[in-house]
Amino acid sequence: MVGVDAGRAETYLRLLAEAEVRSAAGAGSAAVGQPDVVHAGIWRMLAPAWVLMAVGAVQADAAETILADLQLALQARCLPRQYAEARPARLPRPTRFPLPARFPPRLTPEPGEESGAGGDAADVLQVVPVGCRVRFADQGQNVEVCILAASVTPSFTRIMVTARAHGPMAGSRPVLDSLKMTARDDQGGHYLTGLAGDVAPGSGDKWRGTISAWQTPADMEWLEFRSLAGHRRVRIDLLAAPAIAPVTAEDAPVSLGERLLTAAAERALAAAGTESARGGKHAEILDAIAAALAAAGALPAAGAPPPAGAPPPAWAPPAAGLLAGHVATLCVVLGALGSADGGLALVDAGLPEPWLDVLAGLRRMRAGYRAGNGCAAIGVDLGELDGTRFVLAGLENEGGGTYLYLLVEGFRHAGVQWDAFGSDGVPWTFSWWLRDEAGHWHVAMPDTLRTGDGTFLSMEVLPPLSRSSDSVEVEVTGRTGRVRCRAALAWF
């Protein structure tokens, strides 16, 4: 693994701050609706500060002090002539320093904390694909509930669902109010249920999340959920045959810096689909992350080749300098996405095949391609990777996009935003890739995470999957290993 140079990393961060002060001295006035020099300089510093803190190269108090001093210096030199109180601004004026309140101090685990790929996490006893659609009326609005999969543990049974209101009264009341349910089993037991989820972004009448029945026995033959609103019953056969999807796991440890840089590159790659005009901004952030990790010595000098006979992963451990070279090339490609040709010259870009597949598919999206609507049940337990257990619940195609829904246990590191303009920061240290039956790759990016009662994860798949796909290969890479499976898609 790779050690970091803490002294060099902090010096690098201070030099970046000094460069921001020097560049701000000759800057002109900010355009209307754009951040002024003070705020722009601060936001440019957030990405390198975050990754250096994440790999343990810079302490949180040191990073906060550097950013606070930078803010004071920029305000003293530039604020009186650059900032007009009446000017519309997208950014709030930061109070002292703009580090997120829930900023993770460090992602490096304690000794003995890491676990490899395919470990036996704890308590998931059974996973059943459901693939059921239930419709009922509730106070004037029609509600449609899609149940993807069920997961049984020694203490509760959880189902992954999406729900949407239809009809002229849709949106008149939260669809969540229509999802209150009771549950009973074949042994005569009755159970309380709890909901955990949220409203889908951009849609006030759609909800996705989990419904859990508490204190259910492990030897149930079926479990029936009954909606209080529509009095509709859904019986889940827990003795049904599980999904047949052999899961293979391999140990492939990489450095934390390499994982973070790969995740940042994949985030920038995915953002190219809907924010192509801002490709230069994503390239700037990605380049800043790569430079900060290199300065801290957090990137490997060389990587090991994949094991002999192993199937090719979406992103193999790179040889010396290869990852950094691909990232630099990607930055150039991202900058061209806002051009007249939309970055069409990708064949000669020298990027890995999965990245080229994603860029080509996203270009088709910008040209108007939309995937057909539908839901697909999967119901496959991927096991444990880096202390987190993932269960593939299902897919949903809606509004031209594809979303992958997971049930998760043990997930500890929530997403962080470093750019208030809307670009998500490095959300975690996992990479999710899907390959369709035609051999084309798709990247999946975290969309929604809820922990506690109903831990689930919603991921947007880019480019979208075709509704005609009967199966998909899923590959998950973490810090210690990689898990993959070919899962059948039961569309309904």
pLDDT the model gives residue 379: 94
pLDDT value for 155: 84
**pLDDT in the model for residue 364:** 82
Residue 305 has pLDDT above 50, yes or no: no
- The residues near 446 (Cβ < 8 Å, ≥ 6 apart) are 415, 424, 427, 428, 457, 458, 459
Tens-place pLDDT, residues 239-287: 877 777 889 999 988 888 888 888 888 888 887 765 555 667 778 888 8
pLDDT at position 78, please? 66
For domain 126-237, the question of CATH label 2.60.40.1640 is answered with yes
Cis peptide before 168 (omega within 30 of 0): no
Please, what is the average pLDDT of the chain?
77
* Two tokens, residue 405: 């829904």
Query: What is the rounded CA–CA span in Å between residue 380 and residue 487?
Result: 7
The residue-averaged pLDDT of 131-147 equals 90
Q: State residue 32's pLDDT score.
A: 45
Given this model, what pLDDT does residue 399 score? 85
Quick: pLDDT tens for 190-241: 998 988 887 765 555 788 889 999 899 988 999 999 998 888 999 999 887 7
Nearest to 179 by CA among 215, 149, 205, 153: 205
User: Residues 133-143: what's their mean pLDDT?
Assistant: 88
C-alpha separations of 14 from 4, 17, 79, 118, 340 in Å:
17, 5, 21, 41, 38
CB distance 469 to 418 below 8 Å: no
pLDDT of amino acid 271: 77
Q: Look at residue 371 in the predicted model and tell me its pLDDT.
A: 86
d(CA 1, CA 302): 11
Measure the CA–CA gap between 399 and 392, rounded to whole angstroms: 21
Which of 24-28, 50-54, 331-335, 474-478 has the lowest average pLDDT?
24-28
Other Cβ atoms less than 10 A from the Cβ of 110: the count is 7
Name the band, by pLDDT with cuts 50, 70 and 90, for residue 11.
Answer: very high
Residue 76 CB neighbour total at 10 angstroms:
11
In the predicted structure, residue 373 carries a pLDDT above the cut 60: yes
Over the stretch 447-485, which tens digit does the pLDDT of each residue have? 765 544 447 888 899 999 999 999 999 999 998 999 999
Residue 384 has pLDDT above 50, yes or no: yes
CA 290, chain centre distance (Å): 20
Q: What is the largest CA-CA distance in the chain?
A: 77
Highest mean pLDDT among 164-168, 329-333, 418-422, 472-476: 472-476
Task: Give the pLDDT confidence score for residue 234 in this predicted structure.
Answer: 92
Question: Mutual orientation of helices 60-82 and 37-54 as an angle, nearest 10°?
Answer: 170
- On whether the pTM is more than 0.85, the answer is no
Q: What percent of the chain has pLDDT over 90?
A: 30
Give pLDDT, residue 270.
82
pLDDT value for 408? 85
Residues 64-121 pLDDT 10s: 889 888 888 887 776 554 444 433 344 333 333 344 444 443 444 443 444 455 444 4
pLDDT bin (cut points 50, 70, 90) of residue 419 is very low
Give me the pLDDT at residue 202, please.
55
Please, are residues 115 and 386 in contact by the beta-carbon 8 Å criterion? Answer: yes
Return the pLDDT at 447: 73
Q: By three-state DSSP, how is residue 171 classified?
A: coil
- pLDDT of res. 474: 97
Whole-number pLDDT of residue 216? 92
Residue spans per domain, the chain: 1-106, 126-237
Task: Classify residue 228 by its DSSP letter.
Answer: T
* Number of helical H runs and strand E runs in the chain: 7, 19
Q: What DSSP assignment string belongs to 176-226?
A: GGGG-EEEEETTS-EE-EEEEEEEPTT-TTEEEEEEEEES--TT-SEEEEE
